[in-house]
Structure 1
Amino acid sequence: MFHSYFFPISYAFMMFPIAALIFTLPFLIVQYRRHGYIHKLRALILYLLLLYLMNAYFLVLLPMPSSRHNLAPSGSIMQLVPLQFIQDIIDGSKIIPDQISTYWSLLREPAFLQVIFNIALTVPFGLFLGYYFRARWGMCILLSFILSLSFEVTQVTGIYGFFDHPYRLFDVDDLITNTLGGIFGFRIAIWINGLLPRIEQLDTNIDRSAKRVSYTRRGIAFLIDSMVWIIGFGVLYGFDIKSAFWIVTGIYFILIPAFTGGRTLGKWIVRIRVTSSGNRASFLALMIRYGLLYWVMLGAHAIVIDSDVTGLLSSPLRTVAYLFVLLADLAFFIHLVIKVFKKDDQLFYEKLSRTSHVISWPEKRLHTDDSNSSPLEV
């Protein structure tokens, strides 16, 4: 029996790195947006929640039929009698009421072990709700029931139609025992709260605006901005505007930040902005900063791939131009790697423009004590 549990758990652990990779980007965006920085304990708990949910669903869904065209079940696919598991345990057990020693036989009774498994399955979920999310009793019961219902619906629909027929029974007793497990976990969280760091006080006395802007944070902002830039470039290029690259780059990375206090959409989402010597970045500073980065560095790429320009050059000159761009890319890559490892915030174009990134955290929230707030109540 334990082998049947080990198999889904091992698969969940093997798939976890892929799921974590997919989860990381939205996780970072939410954490930067909501909390202003990444706290290691908060990150650990949320990744453990992801791992738990993967294990729970894998335990419920595996093993699957060998083919999508599985056979229809021979009996009913739904058990709608509440507490039917009690009668199943009584019918299958060898308990003699006046002989205590016979009660140990329950540990070998499949119906009893199934109930214990269903309760244990959602105990961690209740722990997360009670400790991290600071949910109330009613919310815990509701969310535990919804999680259990998602298990049962996924099973009875053959993973929402992926299989021709259901391969698991929809059991109302599973809803009861899973919800009970969530309540137990919630109760345990209340007992152990005093032994663990208070989640709602992790950000107490933290000056977010003084924290270093990491390259990870800047990279996320750049990724979002790149998506917006590509859309703008695509629109202008679709109208056959030859200077689309220069126009979109100038508007999005220079003109807009000049009016928004050094913010682009990506920077606004992760709560950072560009400043000049600690003050609002001037138009000239933004022109130097992004002109060097985008019009010079990336602009060189735009020029060498433009056939109208390269067509005017002889073959040797085109080779020299390609080689120059390649060497410039290599030099910038080495420069970036060195800065990342040294944790030096300023790249060459930032030093020349005397600009830098700072965390843009609302002043009214800098000294707010969130000790009484709950993520599930906000």
Structure 2
Amino acid sequence: MNVNLNIYAFPLKMALLVFPFVALIIALPLLIVQYRRYGSFLAWRAVVLYSFIYYLITAYFLVILPLPDPAAVAKLVSPRYNLIPFNALRNFLDYTVFRIGDPSTWLAALKQPWFIQPAFNVVLTLPFGVYLRYYFKRPLWQIAGMGFLLSLFFELTQLSGLYGIYPRPYRMFDVDDLILNTTGAFLGGVIAPVLMRAFPTRDAMDERSVAKGQRVTWTRRLVAFILDNGLVWPLVAGVLDLALRLLGLANSSWQPVAVWVVALAVVHVLMPLLLHGATLGMLVVRLAIVTVDEAPANVWRLALRAGLLYLVTLQSWRGFLWAFTEIYSYDHQSQSNYILLVGFGVVAAFTILNFIWNLVMRHHRFFYDVWAGTKLVARPAKK
């Protein structure tokens, strides 16, 4: 029995290459769930979850790679499975130089393939037990059970010939692997408390997440704004436009304005009324609009807030850019254009100064919230 350790380098390299793409698919939903639960995002939590996914990918690649040629697999006559437990121990005692009464043979035996291969199967699932104990806070009996299930998944993957891709197994299903993998996961759970002393505990992460989740940060505001105005608002406007077309009103001159204003009312007034103060974007990042005394905001406050922000602020910026372009790009230097430029410019300048003032003073309450008697608050984290 020869063990070529170089064969493990290829799966590790493959995991390193594939990890960023697979991790993005798998870890992002997990991070969103964690954010929804605690109302904030911790870098260390992301590191733990990403590294856990990387470990699982690497372990899986170590089980299935390198992939052999199907024609070569079809010619194999080796056993498909071994159901005799502790066969690895018997092989170690029979085929290594190990003699229990001769200590000089102990170290030499540890360097032989009959020890390295079983030891690898223990080490393979050792991190699994550590993660389950450290982050997922599983007791030892559950860690052993989950370690067994993970090992069974690996072994069945091998027994199925990689889910039927190969005509027969190219690696043997071995009951000893189940025992060793389960042992590795259990040992990982045993040593986890020692390793946990060097890192923030799960409870400490949760407490920090909850505390951080009470703050209405710029990031949460920006994400909610992008979701509401870059996704939800255009979607609602598109549905309304389609409805008008089906009613035969597609050519009406007032259609674009009507669609825009009604969509605004749906997204920023109706939805917060139905969702306890939150637009869909705010719902994602756990924010809500309330009154100054934190009572539910009524329809008039929501309408005034949305009007000041989207009908006054954004339209003043848009009008200023339009007038500026008319005067200096198209040379339409009429008196009315200059009046519009100054008028829109004053409103736009006020909104920008208000933004800068809040940014410096950290009030986080802009003029539209002040005049509407509202404010943004963070929703409490789910327990």
> Structure 1 182/24 Cα, relative in aligned 2: closer, same or farther at 3 Å?
closer
Question: Structure 1 regions of 5+ residues with no counterpart?
Answer: 300-315, 317-330, 369-378
Q: Could you tell me how far apart the structure 1 residues matched to 2:82 and 2:266 are?
A: 62
Written as runs of structure 1 = structure 2, the 5 A alignment for 1:242-257 is 242=250, 247-257=262-272
Alignment of 1:22 with 2:25, yes or no, is yes
Written as runs of structure 1 = structure 2, the 5 A alignment for 1:1-378 is 1-66=4-69, 71-72=73-74, 73-194=76-197, 196-204=199-207, 207-208=211-212, 210-215=214-219, 218-219=222-223, 222-223=226-227, 240-241=245-246, 242=250, 247-275=262-290, 277=292, 279=294, 280-287=296-303, 290=306, 357-361=376-380
Deviations 1:87-106 (A, max 9, x none): 22234323345433233332
Q: Could you tell me how far apart the structure 2 residues matched to 1:178 and 1:212 are?
A: 45
Deviations 1:145-198 (A, max 9, x none): 111112112222233234444322211111110000011111101344455433
Preserved contact between residue 287 and residue 379 of structure 2 (Cα < 8 Å)? yes
Q: Could you tell me how far apart the structure 1 residues matched to 2:197 and 2:80 are?
A: 45
Q: Could you tell me how far apart the structure 2 residues matched to 1:21 and 1:219 are?
A: 18
In the alignment, residue 266 of structure 2 is paired with which amino acid? I
Q: Could you tell me how far apart the structure 2 residues matched to 1:25 and 1:352 are?
A: 38
Displacement, 1:137? 1.8
Q: TM-score, normalised by structure 1?
A: 0.71
Q: Could you tell me how far apart the structure 2 residues matched to 1:220 and 1:22 are?
A: 22
Larger-gyration structure (1/2) = 2
Q: Could you tell me how far apart the structure 1 residues matched to 2:88 and 2:225 are?
A: 53
Question: Match of 2:336?
Answer: none
Deviations 1:298-334 (A, max 9, x none): 99xxxxxxxxxxxxxxxx9xxxxxxxxxxxxxx9xxx
Question: Match of 2:327?
Answer: none
Q: Could you tell me how far apart the structure 1 residues matched to 2:14 and 2:66 are?
A: 10
Preserved contact between residue 151 and residue 181 of structure 2 (Cα < 8 Å)? yes
Q: The residue matched to 1:41 in structure 2 has which SS?
A: helix
Displacement, 1:15? 2.1
> Structure 1 207/191 Cα, relative in aligned 2: closer, same or farther at 3 Å?
closer
Query: Percent of counterpart pairs with the same letter?
Result: 34
> Structure 1 282/10 Cα, relative in aligned 2: closer, same or farther at 3 Å?
same
Q: Could you tell me how far apart the structure 1 residues matched to 2:273 and 2:41 are?
A: 28
> Structure 1 180/254 Cα, relative in aligned 2: closer, same or farther at 3 Å?
same
In the alignment, residue 380 of structure 2 is paired with which amino acid? W
Deviations 1:205-234 (A, max 9, x none): 854564133426752785489666677666
Range that drifts further, 165-174 or 17-26: 17-26
> Structure 1 349/174 Cα, relative in aligned 2: closer, same or farther at 3 Å?
farther
Q: TM-score, normalised by structure 2?
A: 0.70
Q: Could you tell me how far apart the structure 1 residues matched to 2:297 and 2:45 are?
A: 33
Preserved contact between residue 130 and residue 192 of structure 2 (Cα < 8 Å)? yes
In the alignment, residue 261 of structure 1 is paired with which amino acid? H
Q: The residue matched to 2:73 in structure 1 has which SS?
A: coil
Q: The residue matched to 1:47 in structure 2 has which SS?
A: helix
Q: Could you tell me how far apart the structure 1 residues matched to 2:239 and 2:72 are?
A: 48
Question: Match of 2:345?
Answer: none
Q: Could you tell me how far apart the structure 2 residues matched to 1:37 and 1:28 are?
A: 10
Displacement, 1:133? 1.5
In the alignment, residue 73 of structure 2 is paired with which amino acid? L
Displacement, 1:201? 3.3
Displacement, 1:357? 3.6
Question: Match of 1:327?
Answer: none
Displacement, 1:131? 1.6
Aligned-CA RMSD value: 4.0
Q: Could you tell me how far apart the structure 2 residues matched to 1:132 and 1:82 are?
A: 32
Displacement, 1:257? 0.8
> Structure 1 180/233 Cα, relative in aligned 2: closer, same or farther at 3 Å?
farther
